[in-house]
Structure 1
Amino acid sequence: MVKEDSEVYHTWRNNEQVMMSTSLVMDHYSIEETRDFVTEVILNSSSSKSYIIEEKADGKPIGVTSLIHMDYKNRHAECVIDIGDTSYWGQGYATEALKLLLSYAFSELNMHRISLRVFSFNDKAIKLYNKLGFRHEGTSRESLFRQSRWFDIIHMGMLQEEYKATDWGSKNLVF
């Protein structure tokens, strides 16, 4: 991700449909707040790496995936993915992007463990994470308030050895 991605990231960050299933906070941000967030939190962080997901045919930015809270000593990170352009939902971009991110995390960065959090109502994401090999590690009960209801936050994780045991984890993916 580069500073110039701030404009498109801003549209995703203010899309309620996208933020409903990915963000703990449902706020609207000014373009200045988004530029500051991209510069200070994303680009200048020593404990995270973020990558723009592009549409295959023309390279149009459609989402972002990140490794955050990277702990090199304990070889752990948390992964995050947002397909910000909702017209690309359900087309396999999240699957492909996460496979590349996990390959990078486990093969290049030599991480031992990758974790994630997912909202209990996000059935499609939970299905994807299970398909990729993530395992349920715990639940923060009723930790998210959406549309006048309480929802759980599900914690999932994958170890390097589990990644290598997947049918795609032993292949060399291109970065």
Structure 2
Amino acid sequence: MNEQRKVNILYGKQIYLRPAVPNDLDDYYTYLCDAEVGKFTGTQQTFTKEGTVRWLEKISTPDDSRVDLMIITKDTDQLVGEVVLNDIDPVNRSANIRIGITGGENRGKGYGSEALLLMLWHAFEKLHLHRVELGVFAFNKRAVHVYEKLGFNREGVQRDLLFLNQEYHDSILMSMLEHEYREKYMVESK
């Protein structure tokens, strides 16, 4: 295990990110079963508690190909989602990032933006990645806006990638390169 991939806790203003623990089971299961999370991530599978236990065990075990962190609010210590770097490619210094926030009451509060920025810091500053990419469904206009505001650039469209509710939906491929991250967020280091 590359020591740089080991993450303890990343602190933000409203939230902090930490690895999964067994006590996350109920909140994480609720997150996985959230219909809006499923819609925005394109997840169409049914989750069980037993399967969730196995998945939590998997993502809480260090793995060179991924970093899975739970998004926890500072004021209530409640799990409100997850942010994941996966498909980490050390040769090409690239990875995919994905995020989900559960519950309408937790969306629109800046938790997702803050979690993405913390994970991007980890990706570029600790893992020394060159490129972080993501896919977002075109119907998720709020997420597209947030990603662009954070500095992700559109690269292309995967047409009709998702079949949901009897309709096909496009996925927009976006990415951020390390120099773009540094120019936007590390101004003081110039």
Number of the residue aligned with 2:27: 8
In the alignment, structure 1 residue 21 sits paired with structure 2 residue 44: no
* Identical aligned residues as a percent: 33
Distance change >3 Å, CA 61–CA 170, structure 1 → 2: farther
CA contact (8 A) 2:132 2:175 kept: yes
Distance change >3 Å, CA 59–CA 171, structure 1 → 2: farther
Query: What secondary structure sits across from 1:77 in the alignment?
Result: strand
Tell me the alpha carbon deviations over residues 95-130 of structure 1, each in whole angstroms, 9 at most, x when there is no partner. Answer: 111111111110111110000010110000000000
AA at the equivalent of 1:17: E
Give structure 1 regions of 4+ aligned residues with deviation exceeding 4 angstroms: none
Which has the bigger relative contact order, CA under 8 A and spacing at least 6?
2
Number of the residue aligned with 1:67: 85
Q: Out of 119, 123, 146, which is 1:101 matched to?
A: 119
Gaps of at least 5 residues in structure 1 are none
Shift of 1:84: 1.8
Query: What secondary structure sits across from 1:26 in the alignment?
Result: coil
What TM-score comes out, normalization by structure 2 length?
A: 0.83
Alignment RMSD: 1.5
In the alignment, structure 1 residue 161 sits paired with structure 2 residue 179: yes
Q: Distance in 2 between matches of 1:171 and 1:33?
A: 45
Number of the residue aligned with 2:56: 38
Q: Distance in 2 between matches of 1:164 and 1:6?
A: 36
Tell me the alpha carbon deviations over residues 1-26 of structure 1, each in whole angstroms, 9 at most, x when there is no partner. Answer: 2232232111111111221101x331
Shift of 1:171: 5.8
Tell me the alpha carbon deviations over residues 117-169 of structure 1, each in whole angstroms, 9 at most, x when there is no partner. Answer: 10110000000000011011111101111121111011100000010111x34
CA contact (8 A) 2:34 2:103 kept: no
Q: Out of 146, 154, 159, which is 1:141 matched to?
A: 159
Tell me the alpha carbon deviations over residues 59-109 of structure 1, each in whole angstroms, 9 at most, x when there is no partner. Answer: 211111010011112111111111123311001111111111111110111
Q: Distance in 1 between matches of 2:27 and 2:57?
A: 14
Gaps of at least 5 residues in structure 2 are 1-18
CA contact (8 A) 1:141 1:152 kept: yes
Shift of 1:38: 2.1
Q: Distance in 1 between matches of 2:28 and 2:45?
A: 14
Q: Distance in 2 between matches of 1:54 and 1:3?
A: 12
Q: Distance in 2 between matches of 1:169 and 1:136?
A: 22
AA at the equivalent of 2:86: I
Count of aligned positions: 169
